[in-house]
Amino acid sequence: MGEKIVIIDFGSQYTQLIGRRIRELRHYAEIYPFYEAEKVLAGADVAAIKGIILSGGPNSVYDQGAPVIPKNLLNRNIPVLGICYGLQLISHLSGGRVEPAEHREYGRAELRIRKKTALLDGMSAGSVVWMSHGDKVSRLPKDFEVLAVTQSSPFAAIGNIKKKIFGVQFHPEVQHTKEGKILLKNFAEKICGMKPTWTMKNFAREKIREIREITGNERVLLGLSGGVDSTVTAKLLHDAIGDRLSCVYVDTGLMRLNETHAVTERFRRTMGIHLHVVQAEKVFLTALEGVTDPEQKRKIIGRLFLEEFRKKALELGHHEFLAQGTLYTDVIESVSVKGPSQTIKSHHNRVKEVLELMKAGRVIEPLRELFKDEVRRLGLTLKIPREALFRHPFPGPGLAIRILGEVTRERVQLLQKADAILLEELKHKKLYSRIWQAFAVFLPIQSVGVMGDQRTYENVIALRMVESLDGMTADFARVPHDFLGHISNRIINEVRGVNRVVYDISSKPPATIEWE
């Protein structure tokens, strides 16, 4: 991928955000847990590393077992930027002093620049920054100087100008730091000397070349869900190897209304990709009879999907490669920042299991370097229809986890219709793109209603609409009450078996976005 910035993770909730911000500035960045820092900086492509960012984290540098890096990593002639805990660690390793603050500093603060430097160039006087720390630097290391302060932090930004080692006590990666992108851009371009060449057009060209080189004349098998990740994976592979790609879509009967038809049309007609469809609704619904536990539902659906996929794969003949729509978030989250002994390998174990089932030799993951927003941008570059790229997230187990209680064909059909009305109205009112995710939920309760002159005792549908940036946190969407009323009337009038509609106004946290 050419030149890059390496981000060393010390357990901050914002580490992925640092990577995304750097990439938004068109610079490539990779994230590694702290215990891999020395190995990464001794790797064969160390010459490509133009800068290092040390993330924040929940620890104190003096905690027993606190995450650290070898001191000599600060002497590699590679520019370094420490953020929050990263600043404190730089100070600690360089001979400064860090101690608990009398009061934890959390929230907005005004930055006052004390020395003009490339790092802070272009930031305005009194720029708002976001603080979140319990420790503080109380004595600077030798050869470091104060670059900026806040009312509560005399060392809000520090630097060893000669060695190009900098630290900031605030978080430039979060939205609350109004000019954080200016600082990160300065670090990448003015201090690390990088050029903004990380674009999806360049990525697509390089990845297609790489796919052709890796696969040679072998065939590739891909399991499709019809979602954004698998759609972009399929298009990228098809552009690279054409008909040597086999795509398999398993219709579980738990998808959105008319989803199988829409997926088939999109792949076969719009993108010219041959698609093998496995009709397995009866298999899945039979296996789910009487099952109410959501985790058990997930396991049954996952197992059956692999079985149906395997049958079709064997029917299609040998494929040397199995393609996965793995994203960079999957790669990062499969490695625990707490250390090798606590590393979570669930993703890699799943891949190995699928490979064995498919009798495929190797796995290929064309999107493993990309975040979700980058996948969408790549899709636009590949000329995938916009409506296919900006669809709301849909869970792997499908409507089975949006039906609380037992899954039956009648409940699936009822929920499909209610959900379709919700999405149709959002698009009609041009609210769909404003909402991060919207869906209907079937509740396993019945309530009394009145239709005409008769009392009814029928089902309840809950509507869920949330606004979010990445799904990590979310809040309910403030849609007009008359709009909610219109949707409720349509569902009750058009979906037989429903006489009550409710709206979920809980946020995440404490609730989750999905109900199960």
How many alpha carbons fall within 13 Å on the CB side of residue 313? Answer: 25
Q: How far from chain centre, in Å, is Cα 495?
A: 34
Contact (Cβ atoms closer than 8 angstroms) between residue 142 and residue 163: no
Of residues 27, 92, 133, 171, which has the active-site annotation? 171
430: burial class by Cβ within 10 Å (0-12, 13-18, 19+)? exposed
Backbone angles phi, psi at 421, to 5 degrees: -65, -45
From residue 32, alpha-carbon distances to 9, 69, 290 in Å are 6, 12, 44
| 374 belongs to the catalytic site | no
| 458 belongs to the catalytic site | no
Contact (Cβ atoms closer than 8 angstroms) between residue 372 and residue 329: yes
Backbone angles phi, psi at 445, to 5 degrees: -130, 155
| 171 belongs to the catalytic site | yes
Can you tell me the distance from the alpha carbon of 174 to that of 55, in angstroms, rounded to the nearest whole number? 12
DSSP 19-73: HHHHHHTT--EEEEEGGGHHHHTTSTTGGGEEEEEE---SS-TTSTT-----GGG
Contacts of 241 (CB under 8 A, 6+ apart): 211, 212, 215, 220
Of residues 105, 173, 374, 425, which has the active-site annotation? 173
- CA-based torsion, 166, 162, 191, 118: positive or negative: positive
Encoding tokens for residue 329? 């978030």
Contacts of 366 (CB under 8 A, 6+ apart): 207, 211, 233, 236, 237, 323
Can you tell me the distance from the alpha carbon of 168 to that of 87, in angstroms, rounded to the nearest whole number? 6
Of residues 3, 27, 30, 84, which has the active-site annotation? 84
Can you tell me the distance from the alpha carbon of 315 to that of 246, in angstroms, rounded to the nearest whole number? 12
Which residue, 245, 267, 420, is CA-closest to 323? 245
From residue 351, alpha-carbon distances to 91, 322, 357, 365 in Å are 42, 9, 10, 10
Can you tell me the distance from the alpha carbon of 256 to that of 259, in angstroms, rounded to the nearest whole number? 5
Can you tell me the distance from the alpha carbon of 152 to that of 106, in angstroms, rounded to the nearest whole number? 11
Contact (Cβ atoms closer than 8 angstroms) between residue 29 and residue 21: no
Query: DSSP class of residue 507?
Result: -
Would you name the residues annotated as active-site residues?
84, 171, 173
